Amino acid sequence: MTLYIRNLSPSATADDLSLLFHQFGKVRRVHLAANGAYHAAFVTMNSRDEADSARHFLNGKDLKGQPLEIVNAPEFRHSAN
């Protein structure tokens, strides 16, 4: 399950997020996304339960001076045309 993290500090790294989310389970992938002043990330956890726990406990928590906003990432499906 993938989580979308908004309001990410520009100084936050993939390692910072991996360490933070690791306390709730296995982190399979961290992808940072930045567009000018906007910083966000996608964190993929091993299971839905792990992701739900991380979202529940970390949403609103401070990371490098910014309160994290964590939501479930939309699941994109590719269609064959």
Sorted by where each starts, the structural domains of the chain and their CATH numbers stand as 2-72 (3.30.70.330)
60 conformational bin, left if phi > 0, alpha if psi -120 to 50, beta if neither: left
Number of H helices, E strands in the chain: 2, 6
What is the rounded distance in angstroms from the CA atom of residue 15 to the CA atom of residue 25? 15
**What are 50's two structure tokens?**
């792990």
Identify residue 51 by its one-letter amino acid code.
A
pLDDT at 78: 43
**What pTM does this model have?**
0.87
Chain segment 2-25, per-residue pLDDT in tens: 999 999 999 999 999 999 999 999
Chain segment 19-74, per-residue pLDDT in tens: 999 999 999 999 999 887 789 999 999 999 999 999 999 999 999 999 999 999 98
